[in-house]
Structure 1
Amino acid sequence: MDNDLYVSLNSGYTLSEKSIEALWNDINAALSLYGAYYRESPEQLPYDSVTILVLEEETGLDMISFQFIKAADGSFSQNTSMVNLQDINEIVPYLNNALK
């Protein structure tokens, strides 16, 4: 849809705790930067939601996805996260640690 941004990442993330934590930190940093840009030029960044699909480096298959919703002040909060069922036993513990 016009007000939703979908981004696919294929940038070296794998099924490991270090990689999942790095991914989470990178996503939060990117959304913080996006929010700052939005507050400066809202007309140039019209998206109400951002969905990020992360591809696993070795297989190229979707590993995990996150959706973030924009608040009135231009900041983003997490709405959903989805894990590939084949990877769930490895990702969920790592993701839980990253979210602490």
Structure 2
Amino acid sequence: GQLCEGVQIHVDDPSGYDHLQFRPWRLMCLVFKALKSLNAGYPMWRDFEYEYERDRLAIDLINGSSIMREWVENDAATMGDMESLALLDEQSWLNERRPYLIYE
């Protein structure tokens, strides 16, 4: 294979796109999980200084915690496990932002 250095998702047919159903973060969790299962020894995570951060991995900083990385690295973890973790954070975010919405 060849190192691609990134992935970007584009919707080609907006008529079939439902932003309440499509979960791109979950998709990338599954992509990382698949990559790990295909090549367990591949160094997926940047382990050097990231911008201003020296003590945490870049993936943990970008995601706000180590939950996603730990889920990917846990061979026994299922998508149902990730769904449970994600739903807690998503509900908290929906509640926190609600007072600031000017339209629905």
TM range (shorter): 0.3 to 0.5
Choose 1 or 2 for highest CA Rg: 2
Structure richer in strand, relative to its length: 1
TM-score by length of 2: 0.32
TM-score by length of 1: 0.33
Structure richer in helix, relative to its length: 2
